A and B are shown apart, each in its own frame.
Chain A
Amino acid sequence: MTDNRTLPAFTLADPTGNEHRFPSGRHALIAFVKEDCPTCNVAMPVIDALFKAYGDTVDFFVAGQTIEGNEKLAEVHNLAGPILDDSALKVAFEYDIDTVPTLYWANSKGEMIGEVIGFVRDEWQALDAEISKVTGSAPAVVDWPSLPEWRPGCGSLSVDPVIADRLRAEASNSPLRARSIDIAPADDEFEFMFDQGFTDGLPVVPPTPERVIRMLSGTKRDAQDIVAQMPPNMGDVTVEKIAINAVMAGCKPEYMPVLIAGIEAICTDEFNIHGVMATTMGAAPVMVINGPIRHKLDMNMKLGALGQGNRANATMGRALRLIVRNVGGAEPGGTERSTLGNPMKFTMCFPEWEERSNWDPLHVERGFEPEDSVLTVFAMTSGPTLIVDQDSREASQIAGSMAMSLESVFHPKAHRVGIDTLLVVCPEHVDTLSRGNYSKADLRRQIQAVTARPLRELIADENSGVGLKQEVADTMAAEKLDRMAPKFASEDFVHIVVAGSDAGKFSGAFHGWASGEIGSMPVSRKIEDG
């Protein structure tokens, strides 16, 4: 029963508005109670008897947890002393109370000299004896034998999960540092978020402090860690800012590690999020997730994987875009200048169905271990463009169909392009390719082979001004014009993943933006635990 730790100071008001400060310079008994707790109702007559016995020499702080409950307790038990208003639960939270009733017996300096949790008759009687000894007053008048020997306490309201998040957000050691914005009661909070320009055009979840605190529980990183600086504003993307935008997007806390990896990836010089957002061509980050985290987050890699309906897929992509908008400052009409825009600018994030093929998944091709969880981000301008082939039965034919479809990347006459493309192969096409023992490398080779055209077929003409300019072609020897130009400058620009339902011979392709050092390169980041 002895411990000299100093108890936190506090001030609480009684029902008449008088403030009671602890420590008070005298011995003190602090009691945390709530009305709907049966054990507290057993204890209240004892607390009342203690007050009557020692109220002259000991200061009593009986802290109740709801205003209505406090009134009821005072009335039912006809208490001689007041019940103080801790309905904000700040004192209970600061004292880290799990259970009511909890009593603290403190000396005049505010140091704890005793603690009693729940109702154990012997402990309460021993406390009475000690107070009697310290004060020199006669013991309290309590019919001890009539009381139950033991009653468990009840949970303090301050540990109710919903309330506890709010209390953590408001506590003096709260990890939150972002500016608080009060929305007037007359304002609709969803309309307010639109008016402030915080949204992507769809409603967002208001990022209240308690929701942000809950979101932060998804990462071990410090809330004020700066994950990256994001252009064009070069705003500091802290873990807290990621969490705020994640709340708005509708994420769960366990998505936080993916978002942190995503922000790291897009803010690299290689990915160049500034150019991706600014280009009139209208690029957007496309996130592909590999590894065990796909299952942990219940991501959808099967039916409709690139579409709507799965929370993790939809909200992680959306959160990334909201951060680009809100922290980076890339807003349409400002530094975001896309001519048409595209729906991927709302969200685009999906996992690879690694188990559905015998190919190395994307992250393994990019140098990670199979058991690593990895995010890879691509700057894509359109997609998924559907590749419809329900007729081919040979692997080479499926690969050829894919090649022909990919010829439309940028423009059919644009060949030897240094443009990344992300090919999403559906399971039925995977099966046909597998029957022909096609590897990803075979598929890439066939795409280059089937798309190869002699340069003379790629000269700009009356049907299209795109292609090899006539005046340049005029300077070239005939044999040079016969030279074959495949679609892509290198097979390395063709990235391949598997996704989609088992039914349907429909693959898809995302078309990229300017690749390499002048534009954007795909970037992979390992997703760290928590």
Chain B
Amino acid sequence: MTTILDPTDERVPVERQLTPRSGEVSGIVGLLDIRKPRGDVFLDRLDEQLQTKLPGVEIRRYTKPTFTKPCPDDLRLQIKDECDFVVEALAD
């Protein structure tokens, strides 16, 4: 029998439960611009649509420093603390 050593980081990802879906959007909705070109255009339109169709929700806008790097921890925690929902404009 051949024995080899594991070349990976050996981490087992934590399984996370999806937050229960209530069927409606309420509270605070975060819109995250990751700084991909035209992501802001998309989020502006979404912002307008949400304000028109869901006047009760509060919209907060967030921006990553650059799309090429992971979201800074502080920003991630801020969004988590402040928002009930978040929409991320992921790609151009």
Interface assignment of A146: CB less than 8 Å from any CB of chain B: no
Query: Within the assembled complex, what's the spacing in Å between the Cα atoms of A269 and B66?
Result: 12
Contact with B along A432-474 (1 / 0, CB 8 A): 0000000000000000000000000000000000000000000
Within 8 A of A (CB), among B1-29: 1-11
Interface assignment of B45: CB less than 8 Å from any CB of chain A: no
A520 CB contacts on chain B under 8 angstroms: 68
A27 CB contacts on chain B under 8 angstroms: none
Interface assignment of A427: CB less than 8 Å from any CB of chain B: no
CB distance from B52 to the nearest CB of A (A): 28
Question: Are A208 and B3 interface neighbours, CB within 8 A?
Answer: yes
- Which residue on A lies nearest to B68, using beta carbons? A275
Among the listed B1, B69, B91, which residue makes an inter-chain contact with A182, where contact means beta carbons less than 8 Å apart? B1
Query: Within the assembled complex, what's the spacing in Å between the Cα atoms of A183 and B7?
Result: 14
CB distance from A239 to the nearest CB of B (A): 13
Interface assignment of A272: CB less than 8 Å from any CB of chain B: yes
B68 CB contacts on chain A under 8 angstroms: 272, 274-275, 278-279, 514, 518-520
Our count of residue pairs bridging A and B at CB distance below 8 angstroms stands at: 92
- Which residue on B lies nearest to A520, using beta carbons? B68
Question: Are B9 and A178 interface neighbours, CB within 8 A?
Answer: no
Interface assignment of A490: CB less than 8 Å from any CB of chain B: no
B8 CB contacts on chain A under 8 angstroms: 198, 235, 326-327, 329
B70 CB contacts on chain A under 8 angstroms: 231-232, 274
Query: Within the assembled complex, what's the spacing in Å between the Cα atoms of A322 and B91?
Result: 27
Q: Are A327 and B7 CB-contacts (below 8 A) given A182-B1, A183-B1, A183-B2?
A: yes
Question: Are A181 and B6 interface neighbours, CB within 8 A?
Answer: yes
Query: Within the assembled complex, what's the spacing in Å between the Cα atoms of A248 and B6?
Result: 11
Question: Are A209 and B66 interface neighbours, CB within 8 A?
Answer: no
CB distance from B27 to the nearest CB of A (A): 30
Interface assignment of A184: CB less than 8 Å from any CB of chain B: yes
Interface assignment of A296: CB less than 8 Å from any CB of chain B: no
CB distance from B64 to the nearest CB of A (A): 10
Query: Within the assembled complex, what's the spacing in Å between the Cα atoms of A268 and B66?
Result: 16
Q: Are A519 and B2 CB-contacts (below 8 A) given A235-B8, A241-B9, A327-B7?
A: no
A514 CB contacts on chain B under 8 angstroms: 68
Query: Within the assembled complex, what's the spacing in Å between the Cα atoms of A338 and B7?
Result: 23
Query: Within the assembled complex, what's the spacing in Å between the Cα atoms of A236 and B1?
Result: 29
Question: Are B11 and A209 interface neighbours, CB within 8 A?
Answer: no
A178 CB contacts on chain B under 8 angstroms: 5-7, 10
Question: Are A181 and B4 interface neighbours, CB within 8 A?
Answer: yes
Query: Within the assembled complex, what's the spacing in Å between the Cα atoms of A185 and B6?
Result: 18
A230 CB contacts on chain B under 8 angstroms: 9
Contact with B along A225-246 (1 / 0, CB 8 A): 0000011110110001100110
Main SS of the interface on chain B?
loop
Q: Are A209 and B10 CB-contacts (below 8 A) given A274-B69, A279-B68?
A: no
Question: Are A235 and B11 interface neighbours, CB within 8 A?
Answer: yes
Contact with B along A43-56 (1 / 0, CB 8 A): 00000000000000
Query: Within the assembled complex, what's the spacing in Å between the Cα atoms of A275 and B3?
Result: 35
CB distance from B46 to the nearest CB of A (A): 22
Question: Are A519 and B4 interface neighbours, CB within 8 A?
Answer: no
Query: Within the assembled complex, what's the spacing in Å between the Cα atoms of A230 and B9?
Result: 10
Interface assignment of A5: CB less than 8 Å from any CB of chain B: no
Among the listed A184, A208, A233, A240, which residue makes an inter-chain contact with B11, where contact means beta carbons less than 8 Å apart? A233
CB distance from A127 to the nearest CB of B (A): 41
Query: Within the assembled complex, what's the spacing in Å between the Cα atoms of A275 and B35?
Result: 13
A244 CB contacts on chain B under 8 angstroms: 5-7
Query: Within the assembled complex, what's the spacing in Å between the Cα atoms of A251 and B27?
Result: 56
A269 CB contacts on chain B under 8 angstroms: 69
Query: Within the assembled complex, what's the spacing in Å between the Cα atoms of A519 and B68?
Result: 6
B11 CB contacts on chain A under 8 angstroms: 233, 235
Within 8 A of A (CB), among B46-67: 65-67
A198 CB contacts on chain B under 8 angstroms: 7-8
Question: Are B5 and A181 interface neighbours, CB within 8 A?
Answer: yes
CB distance from B18 to the nearest CB of A (A): 20
B4 CB contacts on chain A under 8 angstroms: 180-181, 183, 189, 193, 206-208
Interface assignment of A517: CB less than 8 Å from any CB of chain B: yes
Among the listed B3, B69, B91, which residue makes an inter-chain contact with A272, where contact means beta carbons less than 8 Å apart? B69
Q: Are A209 and B5 CB-contacts (below 8 A) given A275-B69, A518-B66?
A: yes
Query: Within the assembled complex, what's the spacing in Å between the Cα atoms of A322 and B9?
Result: 12
Interface assignment of A344: CB less than 8 Å from any CB of chain B: no
Question: Are A517 and B66 interface neighbours, CB within 8 A?
Answer: yes
Q: Are A248 and B3 CB-contacts (below 8 A) given A231-B70, A272-B68, A272-B69?
A: no
Question: Are B2 and A212 interface neighbours, CB within 8 A?
Answer: no
Using A208-B3, A322-B7 as known contacts, list a sample of 17 further A-B pairs with CB atoms less than 8 Å apart, ordered by residue number in A: A181-B6, A189-B4, A198-B7, A230-B9, A231-B70, A235-B8, A244-B5, A245-B7, A248-B7, A274-B68, A274-B70, A275-B66, A326-B8, A327-B9, A329-B9, A518-B35, A518-B68
Could you show 14 A-B contacts with beta carbons less than 8 Å apart? A178-B6, A180-B6, A185-B1, A189-B4, A198-B7, A206-B2, A208-B4, A233-B11, A244-B7, A245-B7, A322-B7, A329-B9, A517-B66, A518-B35
Which residues on B are within 8 Å of A, measured CB to CB? Answer: 1-11, 35, 65-70, 91
Ranked nearest first, the 4 interchain pairs of A and B with the lowest CB-CB distance are A235-B9, A275-B68, A179-B6, A178-B5
